[in-house]
């Protein structure tokens, strides 16, 4: 098996008609001699903010001298990004080697594992083979029946926040979704709730109490922003002064404060995390596609926000960083999202919209999406390709001295960045 064959095997699995549950991942891990049992985890669930939280926390733990595994989804440019150790993605050769081992077990299973179960097992085996001290483990979808919930006892469970998303799978109310996310809470393991929704809070707190899990919350009103620009943000929070982060977006100080709270809990669990490693870890943390500046002139921002809450946060950031003029927006969206609500919010900052069809079977047609904006009174045009939309948008943005924001789907990122590089803007 070579690298391309490994990816082909992983992606060949059809998950759509599989019954949700932990039975397959349990059988798969058991055949691998349960690599998860040799590892310590910080388990992270939530609707938005998981990736940024995981990136910053893993960076801090790495700076503290620990060997840190990081498991996230989806990948942005290359599959290997989904599993990394101390900031380095798994190599092609290691991915092949671990996939071959996992395939030997999976091929013997009568009830075949899903793609996400395969990837989770590969990551756990990879982290175990490399003897990671801690693994920052991001849930894929939900929590209770998510493949990552195969782990027994993490050192900390984190739920970053709850909003309506994936309602056909997780439930059609905040309370139902919170119940699924809260499924990662384990007996006697500290739980950190970072969200604001009161109904979700009650569900999560009740389950934490039932499982005798110490329950922690955060007062985000204590965040004091010192300085913010396209170069980064500095802020104070509960005794931490002038914390600097390079991650952009008005929501990132909130994510960073969540990490600071998690650090305090982890320190109480016995982890040695010196103050210098905290500041250096935040400064070095990077996370693609979350209000990331991908071009300087004109300023082009990419934010993979793909649900209403995420888009609302992205629009808030646009208003903060670019308060003077209307934005040119490049956007595509999945048709199973509340795209009319998303478009209504984006239209509040859009001077002109360039719509595209993301590379995904669930994508909404670009011209249909453009019609939604036109109905909202915003000039909009649908394009047949990202290349055409990008060329038109960047040319007009330069002529009219406008900034550009790319919003609506992570599935646009890889092709969009590739086209930017080809155009040599």
* Res 270 pLDDT > 70: yes
Q: If you average pLDDT over residues 241-260, what whole number do you get?
A: 96
Query: What's residue 170's pLDDT?
Result: 52
Beta carbons of 180 and 139 less than 8 angstroms apart: no
CB 278 within 8 A of CB 57: no
Mean pLDDT value of segment 264-275 = 97
- List for the chain the helix, strand, coil content (%; round to 5): 45, 20, 35
Is residue 18 over pLDDT 80? no
More confident residue, 313 or 43: 43
Per CATH, the architecture of 292-423 is what? Alpha-Beta Complex (3.90)
Query: Is 1.10.4160.10 the CATH classification of the domain at 3-284?
Result: no
Confidence of residue 410 (pLDDT cuts 50, 70, 90): confident
Q: In what order do the strands lie in the sheet with 215-216?
A: 88-89, 83-85, 68-71, 134-138, 41-45, 156-159, 191-193, 215-216
User: Please, what sign has the CA dihedral across residues 69, 406, 231, 194?
Assistant: negative
Does the pLDDT at position 167 exceed 50?
Answer: no
Provide DSSP, 109-152.
-SSPPPHHHHHHHHHHHHHHHTT-SEEEEE-SS-STTSGGGG-S
Query: Between these two residues, 170 and 424, which has the higher pLDDT value?
Result: 424
Residue 288: the pLDDT is: 92
Taking residues 404-420, report their average pLDDT.
Answer: 90
pLDDT score of 164: 54
pLDDT more than 70, % of the chain: 96
The pLDDT value recorded for residue 185 is 97
Q: Above 80 in pLDDT, residue 169?
A: no
pLDDT band of residue 326 (cuts 50, 70, 90) is confident
Tell whether the model's pLDDT for residue 171 goes beyond 60.
Answer: no
More confident residue, 216 or 143: 216
Question: From the centroid of its chain, how far is CA 9?
Answer: 24
pLDDT tens track for 278-321: 999 999 999 999 999 999 999 999 998 878 888 998 999 999 99
**How do residues 47-98 score in pLDDT, each as one tens digit?**
888 999 999 999 999 999 999 999 999 899 999 999 999 999 999 999 999 9
- d(CA 98, CA 118) in angstroms, rounded, equals 11
List Cα–Cα distances, 345 to 309, 379, 407, in angstroms: 10, 15, 11
pLDDT recorded at residue 136 = 98
pLDDT by residue (tens digit) across 370-379? 999 999 999 9
Q: What is the pLDDT of residues 177-235, one digit of tens each?
A: 899 999 999 999 999 999 999 999 999 999 999 999 999 999 999 999 999 999 999 99
For the chain, the average pLDDT equals 93
Q: Is the peptide bond before 74 cis (omega within 30 degrees of 0)?
A: yes
- Dihedral angle computed from the Cα positions of residues 52, 95, 115 and 335, in that order, rounded to the nearest 10 degrees: 50
What is the structure's pLDDT at 161? Answer: 87
pLDDT of residue 172: 56
Place of tokens 């985890």: 41
99 closest CA partner among 19, 12, 20: 12
Domain chopping of the chain, boundaries:
3-284, 292-423
pLDDT of residue 17: 52
Stretch 230-248: mean pLDDT = 97
**Does the pLDDT at position 340 exceed 90?**
yes
Residue 272 pLDDT exceeds 70: yes
């Amino acid at each position: 098996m070579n690298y391309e064959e490994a990816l082909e095997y992983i992606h060949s699995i059809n998950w759509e008609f599989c019954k949700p549950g932990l039975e397959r991942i349990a059988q798969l891990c058991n055949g691998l001699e349960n690599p998860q049992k040799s590892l310590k985890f910080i388990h992270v669930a939530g609707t938005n903010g998981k990736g940024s939280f995981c990136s910053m926390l893993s960076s801090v733990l790495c700076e503290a001298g620990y060997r840190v595994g990081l498991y996230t989804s989806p990948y942005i440019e290359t599959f290997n990004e989904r599993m990394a150790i101390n900031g380095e993605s798994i190599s092609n050769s290691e991915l092949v080697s671990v996939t071959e081992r996992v395939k030997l077990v999976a091929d013997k299973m009568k009830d075949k594992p899903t793609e996400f179960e395969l990837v989770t097992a590969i990551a756990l085996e990879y982290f175990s083979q490399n003897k990671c001290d801690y693994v920052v483990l991001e849930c894929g979808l939900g929590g209770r029946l998510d493949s990552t919930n195969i782990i027994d006892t993490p050192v900390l469970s984190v739920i970053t926040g709850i909003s309506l998303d994936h309602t056909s799978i997780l439930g059609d109310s905040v309370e139902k979704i919170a119940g699924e996310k809260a499924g990662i809470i384990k007996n006697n393991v500290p739980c950190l709730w970072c969200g604001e929704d009161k109904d979700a809070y009650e569900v999560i707190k009740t389950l934490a109490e039932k499982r005798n899990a110490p329950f922690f919350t955060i007062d985000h009103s204590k965040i004091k922003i010192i300085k913010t620009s396209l170069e980064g943000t500095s802020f104070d929070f509960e005794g931490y002064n002038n914390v600097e982060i390079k991650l952009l977006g008005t929501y990132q100080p909130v994510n960073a404060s969540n990490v600071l709270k998690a650090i305090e809990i982890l320190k109480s669990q016995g982890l040695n995390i010196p103050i210098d490693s905290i500041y250096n870890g935040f400064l070095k943390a990077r996370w693609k596609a979350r209000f990331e500046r991908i071009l300087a002139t004109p300023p082009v921002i990419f934010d993979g926000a793909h649900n209403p809450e995420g888009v609302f946060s992205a629009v808030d950031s646009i208003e903060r960083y670019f308060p003077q003029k209307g934005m040119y927006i490049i956007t595509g969206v999945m048709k199973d999202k509340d795209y009319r609500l998303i478009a209504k919010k984006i239209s509040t900052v859009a001077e002109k919209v360039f719509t595209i069809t993301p590379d995904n079977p669930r994508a909404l047609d670009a011209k249909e999406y453009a019609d939604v904006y036109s109905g909202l009174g915003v000039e909009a045009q649908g394009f047949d390709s990202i290349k055409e939309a990008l060329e038109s948008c960047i040319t007009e943005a330069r002529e009219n001295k406008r900034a550009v924001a790319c919003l609506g789907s992570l599935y646009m990122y890889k092709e969009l960045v590739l086209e930017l590089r080809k155009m040599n803007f």
